[in-house]
Each structure stands twice: as structure tokens, then as C-alpha cells.
Structure 1
Amino acid sequence: MSISDVATERAPVSQTAPVSDVAKTPRKASPRHYAMTPPTFFTVEYAINPWMDTSKPVDTHLAMNQWESLRQTYKELGHTVELVEPVEGLPDMVYAANGGLIVNGKAVVAKFAYPQRAGESAAYAAWMARHGYEPVETHYVNEGQGDLLVVGSIVLAGYGFRTDRRAHDEIAAAVGMPLVSLELIDPRFYHLDTALAVLDDTTVAYYPPAFSDESRSRLLELFPDAIEVAAADADVLGLNAVSDGLHVVHPAAATGFADQLADAGFEPIGVDLSELLKGGGSIKCCTLEVYS
């Protein structure tokens, strides 16, 4: 199935559905499998995205407590959480989502854009191998689930700041799924998972100004019932969220987004990861989903 086929199949017959119709959609949670890496060595010792400021002190103890709160939230929701051993000298390894993409029994390991994070690829590839996957490497840069989000039977793939668009074809071939490329244009939203959240197999939320005109049109075509999030929530990385189809774990500061989620029939759960936000990541960044 080609990307154009996907667009044709999902193209809306009418205009965007009103919120009242969206809210009537029954939401159902399903058990998920996550991998997470403790922020044992987390700090901000370099700046490779607009959120990072080496002059601001980082409280690693607080970061660990906030991360643990997120892990416990997942466990209380009935999800499986496996731990990846952190490596000293890799302070951004806590952002486990960037480690790769695991779907359809296939694993693609990240190839990072910046040398500061290059060592994470080996660590996540080793974890994948221990869990029975044969990690595939791409020739071009890809930053895992930071830019590769599974929605039902397709993969949304970001590019513009980190992942090289040329890697998209490699990834589609490796996992055997159609892929839709989306261009990011605002450097604050340097990964797709900072500007778009997958809520269930047919529903997403996103921040329109983070995308090019063409990509916004594609999103509207594919997801006519998408939730469009305001700047106030996007600016606290509110879209860096994780959903099980009913419960949406999101940054606690994104209160407007929480209201939108509730109106659409989801159950928002706010978690404070403000210390980890200093590195440019939040809920989803810390969560590598292992898709069956």
C-alpha cells in the first residue's frame, strides 16, 4: 500500500467533525509495553536544541523522582514497563523514545544527528538484541520514535531538524509499513513527538504552526477529527504525551490540552516532568513503546 493509497482511504468525505461528534466516540484502553531509561546521569552539559541551557542548574534527584512518578503511572494503568540500563556519559539516554522504532516484530535502531548522543545507539541496539530483535541500522539519520510515530497501520515520520527524510524509505522497507512524511518548520519542535501526539489508531492531536503548509494539509486529510492544540500548551511540550487509547499521560502544565482531551472522551492524566523539560523532552520522550 502506498502513501497515496493511505491518503485516499482516509480522506474525509465531509469537513472536520464537531467536538460533540468526536466526544461520542467510545474510547478504549489497551495494555501497552514500554521501555524506559532512568535519568541516573541526566544533566544539561551541552545545547543541541532550543530548550537546553547549560547555564541553568539541573537537579538530577528531582528528575529521578519525576521520572519515577511517570513509571508508576504507567504501572498503575496496567502497562508493562521494562528498564534499559543507563550509561554514564550519555545524559540524554533518559529520552528512550529516541532509541529506535520497534513494530511488526522489527526493530530499527536510531542513528543520531549529533555526536553527543551517538553512543546511545549501541546501548539501545544491545537492549533490542537481548529482547529477540535484530536491530536494523539506517544509512541516513533517524532519531527513533522522536520522529517516527505509529498510528494504526501507518507510520507518521517527521523531518526538517533531526531525522533525514531520506531515511524514511529505509524505515518503511524495514518495518513493512506505509509511511507519511511530515515537515517540521519550528526549531522549538525539532522532533515530531514534540508537535504531535497519537491518541488512538485514528486520532491525533497536533500544533499546526509546527508544520509546513503541505504537511498541515496532509494531516487534515488523514485525520479530520484531530485535536488542534493552542500555543500555550504546545509551548510546555504538552503534545509530548502517551496514550493507551483512553488514558492520555501528558505534561501537567498543558491544562488546555487536558480540557480538550476530556471533551473528546479521553481521560487526561497530568504528570510533572519539568526538570526533564530542561533537556528538551517530556512524557513521550521518556517512553519507547514496543508495538506488537
Structure 2
Amino acid sequence: MPLIINFTQAQTINLSDLSSRTEPQKVLMCPPDYYEVKDVKNAFMEGNLGKVDFELAHNQWQELRNTFQRLGKEVCIINAASGLEDMVFAANQVLPGLDENNKPYVLLSHMRHLSRRQEVPYYQQWFEQRGYQVLELTDSNLLFEGQGDAIWHPGKKMLWGGYGHRTSLTAYEEIAVKLSIPLIALELHTNEFYHLDTCFCVLDPKTVLIYSEAFTTTGLKLIHHFFPRVIEVTAQDAKESFACNAHVFDYKTVVIQRGAVNTVNKLSQAGFEVIEVDTGEFIKSGGSVFCLKIMIY
């Protein structure tokens, strides 16, 4: 299946012709037992070295877990590993999906930073023990950061893929072929928005939440082509409240960082239920709701 990088190519894709995909209903999280900001991997980490309130981070993580459970979702836990301070950001180590027989698999990440590559074997083992097929990129020089950059189109076997910081465009060429799916590549051209999940949040088959300044003109054209309703967030909400790093459950309930007033109003007006949580200690490291979990089968 093709890698889509421009509007002409996008016009060859008809969403109604694509295979349907069941949305995963379980949540996987990793407790912040060893979480800290010990180096600078993205712009949000600057000025936050050693400034994590450990007790508050644990409380915020637990409340996020409780929120998911109150929404009726089973929350699975992978144990944290000593020395891997970013392992708590569970969206990055793998990409879960369903094969042509609707059997679950995970595609392993090959992360840009060496310290984060050490997280991947722990997640690999966790999924192997639960019967997932494990897939890997064949070229070890390619970079790919799981669901931080690769986000499924709602209900369809089609991926949106951010590239430019943590994932290689050439990685998506292999992924599109390996998974036999169309993949829409979006260049991330600002320094701050280093993962797709920091500026792009799918809400339902017709709706997406974005921070438009993170994308090129071509990228915005691709987004508007496939989503009839595009909700744009302000720079303040995107940068200070990580508004696009939200997550929607069952196409109706959006869990989002507290304080994104403009975005919350827009979501409510669009018919979504909104639950605000505090992930402030994790924003110090460049992650919020979406980063702190991954949806699994």
C-alpha cells in the first residue's frame, strides 16, 4: 500500500474502500516510579532539569489511571524499569494494530535517543507474553517512535505519520508495505512539536483536533481532505496545556490537560464530553494524557 505525501496521491484513497479496524478498548500504562527530567530531549524539557515533584507526579498519574477506569476501561500495567526515566510515556515504544485476520500485533519502535531505546525490550516482552505478534523494521538505521508519531485513522486501517524529528520519512515507506496500509505522512516543521501526538488528536471518523502551525501547507491540505471537521487549538492551549495530547474514548469523551479553556469550549460545542485532568509534572518532560498510555487489544 502507498505512502501518501501530497494531495494528488491522497485523492487516490477512498476511506470507504479501506478495511475497517476495531478500536482497542484496554489501556496500558507504566507507573512513574523512576520518572525525572535528567536531560533535554525536546523544547519542553528546557529549564526543568531536576524539577519534577515526585509525589505530585505519582498522584497525577494515579488520578489519570482512575479517570480511565471510571470510564469503564481496563487499565493494564507494565512495571517500570530502574534507570529508564521516560518509560512512563507508554505511547512511544510500540505501535499496536490488527493484521488481516484481526489478530493483534505490535510494531517495535527504534527511538532516536539511545536512552529510550532501552525501554523497547521491556514492552516487547510484555506483549509477547500476551500473545501479540511482534514486528520489527528491517533497517536499524530507520527511526520510528510508535504511537507518538503514528496514529490510526478512526475505525480504518490507515495511519497518519508525523516525521521530521523522531521518525524518519523512509521508515514510513517500509511500514506502509509491511502493514499493507495507506499511510499519510505529515511533516512536523517546528521545533516544539516533535511528535505527531503533540499537535494532532483524532476524535471520531470525521473530526480531528490540531495545532495548525505545527504543519506545512501540504500537511494541512491532507488533514482537511480526510477530516470534514477540523478543530484548531490556540498557540496558548497547544504549548501551555498540551491540548492536542488529549485522548478520546468511544468517539465521545475527551480526556485533556486542565486549563485549555478555548479548546474545552470548542470540544463542548462540537458535542464532546470533556474531562479535565492535571498532568503538569509530565508536561515538564513534553508529555500529557496521550503520551502516558497506549490503547491495546
TM-score by length of 1: 0.89
User: For 2:14, what is the secondary structure of its paired residue?
Assistant: helix
Residue matched to 1:233: 237
Map 1:9-24 → 2, pairs under 5 A: 9=14
* Residue 160 of structure 1, aligned match among 164, 180, 190: 164
Task: Please state whether the residue corresponding to 2:119 is helix, strand or coil.
Answer: helix
Once the two structures are TM-superposed, the CA of residue 51 in structure 1 deviates from its matched residue by 0.8
Q: Does 1:118 align with 2:117?
A: yes
User: 1:99, 1:288 within 8 Å by CA — same for their partners in 2?
Assistant: no
- Quote how far apart the aligned CAs of 1:8 are: 4.6
- How many residues align? The count is 273
- Which residue of structure 1 aligns with residue 222 of structure 2? 218
- Deviations 1:147-202, CA, capped at 9 Å, x for gaps: 01111311100001101111112222333322110000111110000001111233
SS at match of 1:86: coil
Find runs of 4+ consecutive structure 1 residues off by over 4 angstroms.
5-8
1:172 paired with 2:159, answer no
* Alignment RMSD: 1.8
Q: Using the TM superposition, give the Cα deviation of residue 106 of structure 1 relative to its aligned residue in structure 2, in angstroms.
A: 2.1
SS at match of 1:190: coil
- Mapped partners of 2:49, 2:206: distance in 1: 42
Q: Tell me the residue number matched to 1:39.
A: 32
The residue type paired with residue 117 of structure 1 is R
CA contact (8 A) 1:238 1:254 kept: yes
Distance of 2:12 and 2:207 partners within structure 1: 15
Of 71, 76, 89, 1:95 maps to 89
Structure 1 residues 134-213: aligned runs within 5 Å: 134-138=133-137, 139=139, 140-151=142-153, 152-153=155-156, 154-213=158-217
Deviation (angstroms), 1:55: 3.8
- Alpha-carbon offset, residue 54 of structure 1: 4.6
Does the CA contact (< 8 Å) of 2:38 and 2:50 recur in 1?
no
Paired residue type of 2:198:
T
- 1:26 aligns to what? none
Contact 1:7 1:221 in 2 (8 A): no
1:242 aligned residue: 247
Q: Which amino acid in structure 1 is aligned with residue 279 of structure 2?
A: L
Structure 1: 5+ residue runs without aligned partners? 12-29
CA distance in 2 between partners of 1:174 and 1:97 (Å): 20
How far does the alpha carbon of each residue in 1:226-269 deviate from its partner, in whole angstroms, 9 at most, with x for none?
11111111112111011011100011121211111111010011
Please name the residue that 2:19 is paired with: none
Structure 2's unaligned 5+ residue stretches are: 17-22, 99-103
Q: Which amino acid is 2:133 matched to? A: E
Identity across matched positions, percent: 36
CA distance in 2, matches of 1:102, 1:251: 24
**Counterpart contact for 1:97–1:284, Cα < 8 Å:** yes
- What secondary structure does 1:107 align onto? strand
User: Which residue does 1:84 correspond to in 2?
Assistant: 78
1:253 aligns with 2:292: no
User: Aligned in 2, Cα 1:178/1:45: closer, same or farther, shift over 3 Å?
Assistant: same
TM-score with structure 2 setting the length: 0.87
